[in-house]
Structure 1
Amino acid sequence: MEMIKVFGLPFSACTATVLACLNEKEVAYQVIPVDILAGDHKRPPFLSINPFGQIPAVQDGALTLIESRAIVKYLAKKFQGSTCDLLGKTIAEQAVVEQWCEVESQKFNPPFYAIIEQVFINPMKGLGPTDELLLDRNVEKLGKVLDVYEERLSKSKYLAGDSFTLADLHHLPYLHYLVNAVGKGDLVFSRSNVHAWWEDISSRPAWKKVAHNMKLPSLPCIPSQK
């Protein structure tokens, strides 16, 4: 079987999500770096792979996919019979997984991204100092989302039930940066169930292989990613 090609960078949260899924499925892959510091993501030949100029992108034989959430769902379905099940076994279980994936996308991700934008991205781009009011507002928003998680995780080990699924995997790179890079780990550590969940999912061998390489650059650029 031809090796899956992943176009991206190790510190890109969306690339990390795809790599974590591939590791969970024990699928061989090749990472092809896209030099976004040189602007290669906005020029051919990468634009022929993703015309939006964003990482990651994946090639699996003749199939090319973009958008990390679509990519990991494809991988989880294609390799559903191998290793752990990331989608849920019944229609009801799959619906709950989908629900919490949507929560991550629509509720968790927006305030998280606003936080990392203020703490890391904007300063690196030279867009001025952190807007502390905006930062505090989004820390509060994210805290309210994690309060819901805290309640949910008091009733189940993982977001979608008793098994690790895509609902949990999607959170890994963002929580990693929240805890290790932007100084907002208290949002996790102050909630006992969220903290226990984070300690569990971040200790998975598949994730550790990815997290080891997630080092944010100290350069005035960050990849456009989806």
Structure 2
Amino acid sequence: MNIYKEYFQTLKEYLTILKIDKNTKGIAGCNDDDIKALIDKKGKLPLAYEEYLRSIGKFFLFDFMDAENMSYEDLDYTTEFGEQIFESNNFTANQPVIIISERRNDYISLIYPDEGDNPKVWIMSEYWDDDEEEENLTTRMNSFTDLIDSFFTQTLINHTAGFHFVSSEIPENEVENHIRNLYLKWFTGLKIIKTRVDHYAGNNVLINNLNEIFMSYYSINENFINEELNDNKIQF
């Protein structure tokens, strides 16, 4: 198994356990026909990007990517919008390029497929001060998997904030219990992932990095997580 496939399969497991994007179309990958169609349009795909598409890249993962759309199903729109940004910035790529995402019609991210299996990710904004001397194209991340890792980091840090935005369909006298149950499910998911991290014996550097990100978050909150689960008699 290549390291990128294993990495994205592991990430998919973690996101599924934590129920990330469970209220959207869900987490799904592209099939062989999807990938072939994209290769026919774009040419060669960097391996890391292809494995992302095959594992989790089919639909818009609003929660995981904080409203940034990197989905296969919306890639035609993303490409069209990106080309408009290129035009507004008088930018012409001097090598093959894939516009991989856009965020709220504000900026795009792109990769150069000839830069290897795990290329740098570049960012370009829609609006730019004409007086600026620098080009409106800068490195966003040193690799595609670094970008995915950054999404995972922010998901761990920020996801629980959404628990406090409670639907009006929840009766007022049940709101507190509703929020508590969301936290308990979150803590339970974290414990399950912690067990998997503890038992991982592989040498995939990408998974090791992913697990380090998880443990950095988990270790800070471990005592509180254990106390809450114990108080509610949830055992592992």
Tell me the TM-score normalised to structure 2 length.
0.26
Quick check: which has more Rg, 1 or 2?
A: 2
Structure having greater relative contact order (Cα 8 Å, sep ≥ 6) = 1
TM-score (norm 1): 0.27
